[in-house]
Amino acid sequence: MKLAIGCDEAAYNLKAEIIKHLESKGVAVDDFGADKGEVVLYPDVAFKVAEAVADGKYERAILVCGTGLGMAMCANKVPGVRAAVCHDPFSTERSRKSNNAQIMCMGERVIGVELAKYLVDLWLTCDFSGGGSAPKVARIEELEAKYIKK
């Protein structure tokens, strides 16, 4: 699996650690920025990464900012994308198994590097379970088609 990853200047250090961690495990990562010392608006990075996921260029992606919240809000505006803030194991697992989230969002100001690496590993091992959650995800897609103009 090849992942996309992006951050703003508030999360460059965490992004760099996640990239090193993933590459040490043989996971290919395309970095959408920001570069060290570069000031960017997180919506620009989030939309770029989310559009790449929606277009099928990447199956999954990781977005990191100060809290993870802004990145998730932006990524979720792209039709076809489900982004989740993942700061604890249970929510991280459920974001995949119950919600089929393709984008994991984290905040450098919220969690430490070791927890972030653990959550990334957990998130990458989880798949959508379907079952009772399948109708809910299908309903998200139906409502998205109704309310969001592509």
The token duo for 60 is: 């999954």
Q: Going by C-beta distance under 8 Å and a sequence separation of 6 or more, which residues neighbour residue 125?
A: none
The counts of H helices and E strands in the chain are 6, 5
User: Annotated catalytic residue: which of 7, 65, 86, 105?
Assistant: 65
Distance of CA 113 to the CA centre of its chain: 16
86 is catalytic: no
Question: Which residues are catalytically annotated?
Answer: 65
